[in-house]
Amino acid sequence: MKVKNICCIGAGYVGGPTMSVIAYKCPDIKVNIVDLNAERIAAWNDEDVNNIPVYEPGLSDIVAAARGKNLFFSTDVEKAIEEADMIFISVNTPTKTYGVGKGMAADLKYIELCARQIAAVAKSDKIVVEKSTLPVRTAEAVKNILENTGNGVKFQILSNPEFLAEGTAVDDLLNPDRVLVGGDTTPEGQEAMNALVEVYANWIPKDRILTTNVWSSELSKLTANAFLAQRVSSINAISELCERTGADVNEVARAIGTDSRIGPKFLKASVGFGGSCFQKDILNLVYIARTYGLTEVADYWEQVIIMNDHQKRRFASNIVKTLYNTVSGKKIAFLGWAFKKDTNDTRESAAIYVADDLLNEQAGIAVYDPKVEEEAIYRDMDYLATRGSSVNRKGITVYTDPYEACRDAHAIAILTEWDEFKGYDWQRIYDNMKKPAFVFDGRNILDSDQLQKIGFIVSSIGK
């Protein structure tokens, strides 16, 4: 089977970039990205391609090259489903906030709604691809919904998890370490897998396209994120020990990273990991393990989350202690709000939780981020309020000029490792701050020696 028409339900951080690259690399395949959020679709269709809703280096150029040719963005979900040979489901799967599994299990209501809509609309056989990160055996539930429609349409369910790192998503799509496709072992299942393999083979060598059964594919995504997050929490745990013993966590990381069995990646001490995947996927893994009665397995992975939360609280506490045990009425400037550089995604960003702790201490927070919009920052604080936080957006002021954000600040907290911060006139920043001036380097991007020379008292994670 040769795929000629693809539909992707969901125009977010995964669906938008992934489908844009597929359209760009497969000009003979029509790609429709659909979403019920009319505002988001309008942004994808904006005449100025620099205004698309997802910021990723290189993405706007790819969208510009394919949009209107074989790449289309629309709110007409039913038409796109009806036309498609292959349908990708790329909708949000947040952690449940209610009922059984609250706080850990994945909320699959959007997945089920997609499956039911596909079942209701489809008039011809379809390949349905799970692109969202899902618990093991979700494909079985999707298949049950699709096969019990009574309309005679046949469906094949594939798992094709994404392994994108935000900030490098375009390069990850163009030059992936691997692409994983899971499906049934039946002849029909194998044919469906081959159809998806051939799509990716337009630009990816086939030896990098791995095929497995659908359950292994689903679990591999959760496991990959759990292992990466574990490395971050491990080096952050060592950073606290370094502070007590006089060791330098950067030197420790460099020393162990040269061991070929360990490697240097994800060994950078920081305020903690954020983003939409790591915490959500580990909590999901913990919930699955507990569901099967695997208490020790669940406890092991839950500790990765506990360490990450501890690191964020410890960073905020360090700010309070350094500023003479009180930040009440003091201005703390945050440079960076996104959870990492080169993205405008703020989901689970460490900055949100550090701000929450400092606002509880009655500090005033001044925020500058080069890509995150003001309203997104305020929405993050409103989100915390829904989870029981007693603080809100009132204590936060968002700036479009980093120098104004830092003016009259008692301290600066570096919370995203944006490259532009390295090029700032730090002498000018220092001259306009309250003295003594402090910088809290949670992302290890500044030259501490240089800052010390101009008068900053620097506090870095792990030193």
Catalytically active residues, by annotation? 277
Q: Contact 370/338 with Cβ under 8 angstroms? A: no
Q: Contact 145/112 with Cβ under 8 angstroms? A: yes
**Helix locations, 331-373, DSSP H:** 350-360
* Rounded distance between C-alpha atoms, residue 102 and residue 25, angstroms: 41
SS (H, E, C) 372-417: CCHHHHHHHHHHHHHCCCCCCHHHEEECCCHHHHHCCCCEEEECCC
List of residues 6+ apart from 408 with CB closer than 8 A: 331, 432, 433, 434
CA 130 to chain centre: 18
Q: Contact 243/462 with Cβ under 8 angstroms? A: yes
* Rounded distance between C-alpha atoms, residue 128 and residue 158, angstroms: 6
C-alpha distances (whole Å) from 344 to each of 144, 241, 293, 424 are 37, 32, 39, 21
Neighbouring C-beta atoms of residue 228, cutoff 10 Å = 17
4 closest CA partner among 24, 19, 26, 21: 26
State the Cα angle at 182 between 181 and 187, rounded to 5°. Answer: 110
Q: Which stretch of DSSP H or E encloses residue 378? A: helix 374-386
Q: Contact 135/107 with Cβ under 8 angstroms? A: no
3-state DSSP assignment of residue 333: strand
Q: Contact 463/242 with Cβ under 8 angstroms? A: yes
Q: Contact 158/146 with Cβ under 8 angstroms? A: no
- Upper half-sphere CA count for residue 319 (Cβ side, 13 Å): 34
* Rounded distance between C-alpha atoms, residue 219 and residue 133, angstroms: 9
* Rounded distance between C-alpha atoms, residue 259 and residue 263, angstroms: 6
φ/ψ of 443, rounded to 5, equals: -120, 5
264: alpha, beta or left? (left if phi > 0; alpha if psi -120 to 50): alpha
The pair of three-digit structure tokens given for residue 395, joined into one six-digit string: 């204590």
